[in-house]
Structure 1
Amino acid sequence: MSDLPVPLAQEQIPPGTRAWHAADAERWRAAGPGRWAEPLWPFLALLATAVWSIAEAPYPVCTTAIPCTTDWEGVSLATIQVLTLVLLRRHPALALTGLVVSVGGLLLEDAPDGSPDLLATSSVALLLAALYAAATLIHRLVCARQQQLVALEAADAARAPLPGSAGTFRRGRASFALASLLLAVSVFAVWQGERDASAFDERVARATPATARVTGSDVDGGTLTVRSEALGTHTVEVLFPENHPVGSHLDLLVDGDWIRPAAEPYDTIGWELLLLVSSVPGLAFLTGGLVARGRAARLRAEPAPVLRVLLASRRNDTRTWLHAADDRAAERPLLSFHTRYVFEEGHPEDGFDDAGRSEDEDDDLDDDLDDDFDEAGEAPRLREAVLYGLPHAGAELVFTSALEEGGPLTECTASPARPAAPLPPDTTSRRRPTADVVSALPLSREALAWSADTGARIKGLGILLMGAFGLGVTFDDGLSWRSIVTALGLPLYASAVATALNWRVVADDKGLWMCGAWRVRHVPWDAVKAVSHVGDGIRVGVGVPDDELRLYPTGWSWLDRRLGRRSTAQDAAETLRVLVHHPELRPRTSATHHGLPLGPYLTAAAVLWTGTVLFLL
Structure 2
Amino acid sequence: MSQTPVPIPAGSVSEGVPDWPASDAAAWSRARPASWARPLWSVLTLLVTVAHAIAVEPMPVCSEAAPCGPDWIGMVQMGLAVGLSYWYARLPEIALVAAPVLMVIVAWQELPSAGWTSLSANLAVIAALGLGWAAARARLAARQRQRRLVDRTAVHRRWEPAGPVRRGTIRVAAGLALCAVAAGALVLGLRAVHEDEQRAARATRTATVVVGRTDTSLRVRTQDGRRITVGSVFPEDYGLGTTVTVLEDESGPRLAAEPYDAFGLQLLALAGGLPGLSLLTAGLLARRRATALRLGPVPFLRVLTGLDDEGRVRVYAADDAAARTPLFGCTCVSVPPEAGECEGPVVETGAVHGADGIDDAPFTVPELREAVMIGAPYEGGELAFLTTGPDGTPVATHTVGPVRTPRPVAA
Matching residue within 328, 333, 337 for 2:321: 328
Which residue identity is paired with 2:270?
L
2:146 is matched with: 147
How is 1:455-470 mapped onto 2 (pairs within 5 angstroms)?
A: none
**Offset at 1:51?**
2.1
2:331 is matched with: 338
Contact 1:162-1:398 within 8 A present in 2 as well: no
Distance in 2 between residues matched to 1:131 and 1:212, nearest whole Å: 49
1:452 is matched with: none
**Offset at 1:262?**
0.2
Contact 1:49-1:122 within 8 A present in 2 as well: yes
Matching residue within 242, 248, 258 for 1:254: 248
2:26 aligned counterpart, secondary structure? helix
Q: 1:12 to 1:60 in 2, by over 3 A?
A: farther
1:392 is matched with: 378
Distance in 1 between residues matched to 2:145 and 2:135, nearest whole Å: 15
How is 1:355-504 mapped onto 2 (pairs within 5 angstroms)?
A: 378-405=364-391, 407-422=393-408
1:311 aligns with 2:305: yes
1:267 aligns with 2:261: yes
Contact 2:302-2:318 within 8 A present in 1 as well: yes
1:160 is matched with: 157
- TM-score (structure 2 length as normaliser): 0.85
Could you give the per-residue CA deviations for residues 491-532 of structure 1, whole angstroms, max 9, x where no partner exists? Answer: xxxxxxxxxxxxxxxxxxxxxxxxxxxxxxxxxxxxxxxxxx
Which residue identity is paired with 1:45?
T
**Offset at 1:308?**
1.0
Q: 1:185 to 1:401 in 2, by over 3 A?
A: same
1:214 is matched with: 210
Q: 1:76 to 1:213 in 2, by over 3 A?
A: same
**Offset at 1:397?**
1.1
2:218 is matched with: 225
Distance in 1 between residues matched to 2:125 and 2:187, nearest whole Å: 34
Which residue identity is paired with 1:300?
R
How is 1:59-208 mapped onto 2 (pairs within 5 angstroms)?
A: 59-111=59-111, 120-155=119-154, 158-165=155-162, 168-208=164-204
Distance in 1 between residues matched to 2:363 and 2:382, nearest whole Å: 30
RMSD: 3.1
Matching residue within 234, 239, 243 for 2:229: 234
The answer to which of 262-271 and 102-111 deviates more is 102-111
**Offset at 1:392?**
1.1
**Offset at 1:170?**
4.5
2:254 aligned counterpart, secondary structure? strand
Q: 1:111 to 1:122 in 2, by over 3 A?
A: closer
Which residue identity is paired with 2:149?
V
**Offset at 1:107?**
2.5
1:294 is matched with: 288
Which residue identity is paired with 2:206?
A
Report which of the two structures shows the higher radius of gyration computed on alpha carbons: 1
Contact 1:217-1:224 within 8 A present in 2 as well: yes
Q: 1:187 to 1:344 in 2, by over 3 A?
A: closer
Could you give the per-residue CA deviations for residues 196-240 of structure 1, whole angstroms, max 9, x where no partner exists? Answer: 32443343233222233334445xx5x2332315542525122x3
Distance in 1 between residues matched to 2:230 and 2:185, nearest whole Å: 29
1:359 is matched with: none
Which residue identity is paired with 2:15?
P
Q: 1:245 to 1:336 in 2, by over 3 A?
A: farther
**Offset at 1:178?**
1.0
Distance in 2 between residues matched to 1:96 and 1:278, nearest whole Å: 21
2:33 is matched with: 33
Contact 2:174-2:276 within 8 A present in 1 as well: yes
The answer to which of 338-347 and 227-236 deviates more is 338-347
Identity between Structure 1 and Structure 2 (%): 34
Aligned length: 393
**Offset at 1:318?**
5.3
Which residue identity is paired with 2:180?
A
2:89 aligned counterpart, secondary structure? coil
Contact 1:53-1:122 within 8 A present in 2 as well: yes
Runs of 5+ unmatched residues, structure 1: 354-375, 424-563, 566-617
Distance in 2 between residues matched to 1:314 and 1:344, nearest whole Å: 21
Q: 1:112 to 1:90 in 2, by over 3 A?
A: same
**Offset at 1:3?**
5.1
